[in-house]
Amino acid sequence: MKFTLYMPTKVFYGKNCVKEQAKEFSAFGNKALIVTGKSSGKKSGALKDVTDILISLSIEYWVFDKVENNPSLETVKKGSIIAKANQVSVIIAIGGGSPIDAAKAIAALSVNNIEPIELLTTSIKIPSLPIIVIPTTAGTGSEVTPYSILTAKQFNTKKNFYSPYSFPTITFLDYKYTCSLPDRVTIDTAFDAFSHLLESYLSNKCTKQSAIYAIEGLKVFANCLLAIDERKFTDNIRDQLLYASYMGGLAITLTGTTIIHAMGYSLTYYKALSHGHANTLFIGEYLRFNNQADKEKIENVLKILKFSAIIDLETYLLKNIGKKPTISQEEINKFATLAMTQGSVKNNPRVIKESDIIKIYQKVLLR
């Protein structure tokens, strides 16, 4: 056996965990920057829970609620300017993957005197500010990863900023903050979580340690399949989706993702598909492409999910997500070239060439 484990985030999981562990907020100085999107923090109730606590602890705070879906380098720069100007001592992320990823970049930029684009090209030297994370979706896994996915016009795609300093210091996971999500977001993010579990398990970086989390998450995700199909998001299902997503985060922290993510980025960047929607389109073809290399594991996934064949899983997924985008052969060629620039391509169970990626895009989007 050979593996590594490093995931230093302190995790509190459970209903009302933010209020119950309010004292945890007091360990990081008395000035906080809350990083969030336009609405999820407010709608979910998480923003109010946090600001109530900060007020009660006499912690001064600023709210940066300008994080868009798929945050840009410009956005994280704006956030870091506010953090620096006010000398905040902790960054608090409230929201889905976008605010969480933005918060990681802001926490790094607040203490390292570099431009945002350097996050993507060099290693940061000075440890980031402490980061507290409260997810309001169940999908990203970012609450327990060191990854921050940023949209870089300079590269015409989304790029992964990674640092051991970017693990959240504390993460609070409470499914109640996900209860106000529309069905569409619930499903897209749930499938994003599924993609993490699947890609991690099939990754050639999968280890005995990472597989524990992937299998555990897949088992719990399996319990949610019918509820997703029927749009019956009870508290219990929300709880299980959040747990499965968290397991996905633990798993990809150890393995990274594979070509699904690499291929999906361009559909988000150029076609404005949500991240989960983009990824999900490729899952069936991804499994067929890798079936020779990883037959036993793929059969195990199907068994856990109680599907008898890849096509059944694919049909289920496609039925539950949005439409395929229209795309030209020229775009496919460009997207394939961009996909090959992503490090995650190397993690694919079967060695993959640009021509293979073009074929997958064609099979998925042109037929």
Considering only residues 204, 209, 320, 362, which one is a binding residue for its own copies as defined by CB under 8 A?
Answer: 209
Nearer to its own copies, 81 or 179 (CB): 179
Pairing mode, strands 147-152 and 60-64: unpaired
According to CB under 8 A, which one of 15, 31, 66, 359 is a site residue for its own copies? Answer: 15
Contact call for residue 13 and its own copies (CB under 8 A): yes
Contact by Cβ (8 Å): 242, 138: yes
Given the rule CB under 8 A, which of 11-19, 30-38, 56-64, 69-77 is the region that contacts its own copies? 11-19
CA nearest neighbour of 342 among 142, 147, 160: 160
Contact segment (CB under 8 A) with its own copies among 182-190, 205-213, 276-284, 334-342 equals 205-213
- Whichever of 8 and 154 has its CB closer to its own copies, that residue is 8
212 touches its own copies (CB under 8 A): yes
Tokens of 93: 């992320």
Least CB distance to its own copies at residue 31 (A): 23
Residue 6 in contact with its own copies, rule: CB under 8 A: yes
23, 58, 85, 208: residue in contact with its own copies (rule CB under 8 A): 208
Q: Which two tokens stand for residue 247?
A: 């397991």
Tokens of 11: 């995790």
Residues 236-255 that bind its own copies (CB under 8 A): 239, 243
Q: Is 213 in the site for its own copies (CB under 8 A)?
A: yes
Rule CB under 8 A: is residue 2 a binding residue for its own copies?
Answer: yes
Distance, CA of 292 to CA of 53 (rounded, Å) = 53
By C-beta, is 107 or 244 nearer to its own copies? 244
CB of 242 to its own copies, least distance (A): 8
The stretch near its own copies (CB under 8 A) out of 1-9, 61-69, 112-120, 154-162 is 1-9
The answer to whether 62 contacts its own copies (rule: CB under 8 A) is no
As measured in angstroms, the least distance from the Cβ of 259 to its own copies is: 27
Please tell me whether residue 8 binds its own copies under the rule CB under 8 A.
Answer: yes
CA nearest neighbour of 152 among 114, 129, 121? 121
The Cα–Cα gap between 277 and 359 comes to 20
DSSP 341: T
| Residue span binding its own copies (CB under 8 A) among the ranges 93-101, 109-117, 206-214, 324-332 | 206-214
Q: Is 319 in the site for its own copies (CB under 8 A)?
A: no
Query: Distance between CA 16 and CA 134 in Å, rounded?
Result: 12
Separation between Cα atoms, residue 224 and residue 1, nearest integer Å: 32
Least spacing, CB of residue 40 vs its own copies, in Å: 22
Nearer to its own copies, 239 or 314 (CB): 239
Residue 63 binds its own copies (CB under 8 A) = no
Footprint (CB under 8 A) of its own copies, residues 16-35: 17
CA neighbor of 47 nearest in space, from 97, 108, 92, 88? 92
- Which residues are CB-contacts of 141 (< 8 A; sequence separation ≥ 6)? 193, 196, 245, 246, 248, 249, 250, 251, 252, 253
Per DSSP bridges, beta strands 170-173 and 157-162 are unpaired
The amino acid sitting at 355 is S
Size of the residue set binding its own copies (CB under 8 A): 23
Question: How many other C-beta atoms are found inside a 10 Å radius of the C-beta of residue 330?
Answer: 8
Question: Which C-beta is closer to its own copies: that of 82 or that of 212?
Answer: 212
End-to-end CA distance of the chain: 43
Minimum CB distance to its own copies, residue 134 (Å)? 15
Instruction: Give the nearer residue to its own copies in terms of CB position, either 109 or 227.
Output: 227
Give the CA dihedral 321, 322, 328, 333, nearest 10 degrees.
-40
**244 Rama class: left (phi>0) / alpha (psi -120 to 50) / beta:** alpha
Nearest partner of 241 among 302, 301, 197, 193, judged by Cα: 193
- Counting contacts by CB under 8 A, is residue 230 touching its own copies? no
The dihedral formed by the CA atoms of 123, 149, 181 and 172, expressed in degrees to the nearest 10? -10
Binding its own copies (rule: CB under 8 A), the pick from 3, 55, 231, 341 is: 3
Rule CB under 8 A: which residues touch its own copies?
1-15, 17, 208-209, 212-213, 216, 239, 243
